[in-house]
Amino acid sequence: MDIDLTKPLDIRILQRILPHRYPFLLVDRVLEVEPGVRIKAIKNVTVNEPHFTGHFPGNPIMPGVLQLEMMAQVAGISLLLCPEYEGRLALLAGIDKARFRRPVVPGDVLVVEVEVTKMRGPMGWIKGTASVEGKVVCEAEIVFALATQDREAAE
């Protein structure tokens, strides 16, 4: 993939890397990335997102599971930018030590930072943190399986 990693990655580039689309693409921009090592990205949380209709009427709060999904998507971008994993799918294989520290609401800019801690064959382990205005809102350890496009497990 011919991508300039010295500049932020916008939505057009992210759609070349990830298969996700609206309403499930949860990353707006990548600010910094060292493929397969670390990455920092943002999501602008807006009230017109479909989950806010029912979570919760009159008191919109971003579901924790979507915060974890954003973290997973950000980690996937980092891994899929590595030449050896280009064209694969980063499939969620596990979540450990997930903690939610405070609510995320419309108007927040969610900043996710992910560090790849280990790769073993088609499996990857990451530690991720999501924050708003410098305060941690969510953290977790996530496990990935890198699969071929036909969705079979990669060797």
pLDDT in tens, 23-51: 999 999 999 999 999 999 999 999 999 99
Spatial CA neighbour of 40 closest among 129, 143, 117? 129
Instruction: List, in order, residues 6 or more apart from 22 with CB less than 8 Å away.
Output: none
Whole-model pTM: value is: 0.94
Residue type, 4: D
The predicted model gives 59-67 an average pLDDT of 97
Residue 150: which pLDDT band, with cuts at 50, 70 and 90?
low
Catalytic status, residue 51 = no
Would you state the pLDDT for residue 151? 45
Chain mean pLDDT for the chain: 94
- Whether residue 69 is predicted with pLDDT greater than 70 in this model: the reply is yes
The one catalytic residue in 55, 63, 108, 147 is 55
With contact defined as beta carbons under 8 Å apart, do 76 and 137 qualify? no
Q: How would residue 149 be classed by pLDDT, with cut points 50, 70 and 90?
A: confident
Sign of CA dihedral 68, 42, 24, 151: negative
- For the purposes of burial, counting CB atoms within 10 Å of the CB of 133, is it exposed (0-12), middle (13-18) or buried (19 or more)? exposed
Domains identified in the chain and CATH numbers: 11-102+110-147 (3.10.129.10)
Written as six digits, the tokens of 116 are 């790849």
Supply the pLDDT for residue 154: 40
User: For the segment 75-90, what is each residue's pLDDT rounded down to a tens digit?
Assistant: 999 999 999 999 899 9
pLDDT at 1: 75
